Amino acid sequence: MARKRKDGGSSPVLAKNRAARHEFHILETFEAGIELLGTEVKSAREGRVNLKDAYGKTRKDEVFLVNAHISPYTHGNRENHDPLRPRRLLLHRREIRKLAKAVETAGLTLVPLAMYLKSGRIKVEIAIAKGKKIHDKREDSRKREAEREMARETGQQR
C-alpha cells in the first residue's frame, strides 16, 4: 500500500523512481497534476505504479508522461485502461515552456521522481535532469560508502 513521505509530510507516496537519482543529475523539480482514468486512479491508490522507465515528453505545448506503468485495476472490467498509455501532465503554461526549452536546447531529460497523494489528488514530481556518466556514478557510490563507513565508526565509539 502507500507509504508516508520521509520529509514528514502527510502525503503518502504511491511510487518512487529510485533509479532516477542514480542515473541523472537532478537540476530542477516541478510538481505536476496528472490526467488519469478512473481505473488508473484506483490502481495508483493501491500503489501499483512503476516509474522506473518513465520519462517526460513535450508535444504542442503539452507535457506527457510516457512509459509509466500503472497496472490494470484488479476489480476493473472490460473498460480497464492500457498500462503504458501516455498520460498528460498538468502544469502552468510558463512551466511547460521552461521544460520544453530545457529539453530542446540543452539536451536535458524530463524524469519523474515520485507519484504521491496531495489533498486527495495524485501528483507527480518531475525533474529536469542531465544524464550521469559512468565515472560520476562511481564517484557517487564511493561517497556513499565513505559516509556509511564514517557513520559506522562514529556509532561504535559512543
All domains of the chain, ordered by start, with CATH?
3-133 (2.40.280.10)
Q: Can you tell me which residue has the cell 507527480?
A: 124
Residue 126 corresponds to which cell in the numbers above? 518531475
Residue 71 corresponds to which cell in the numbers above? 497496472
Residue 6 has pLDDT above 70, yes or no: no
What pLDDT score does 120 carry?
Answer: 87
Quick check: 112 and 56 in contact, CB under 8 A? yes
| CA distances to 10, 36, 45, 138, 141 from 3, in Å | 10, 21, 11, 30, 26
What pLDDT score does 91 carry?
Answer: 93
4: pLDDT confidence band, cut at 50, 70 and 90?
low
Distance CA 26, CA 33 (A): 20
What pLDDT score does 157 carry?
Answer: 60
Quick check: 20 and 129 in contact, CB under 8 A? yes
Residue 37 has pLDDT above 80, yes or no: yes
Phi/psi for 106 (5° steps) reads -90, -10
94: pLDDT confidence band, cut at 50, 70 and 90?
very high
What pLDDT score does 20 carry?
Answer: 86
Q: How far is CA 4 from the centre of its chain?
A: 16
34: pLDDT confidence band, cut at 50, 70 and 90?
very high
Which helix (H) or strand (E) segment is 33 a member of?
Answer: strand 24-34
pTM value?
A: 0.76
Q: What is the mean pLDDT of residues 111-124?
A: 92
| CA distances to 16, 53, 148 from 50, in Å | 8, 8, 28
Q: What is the mean pLDDT of residues 44-73?
A: 90
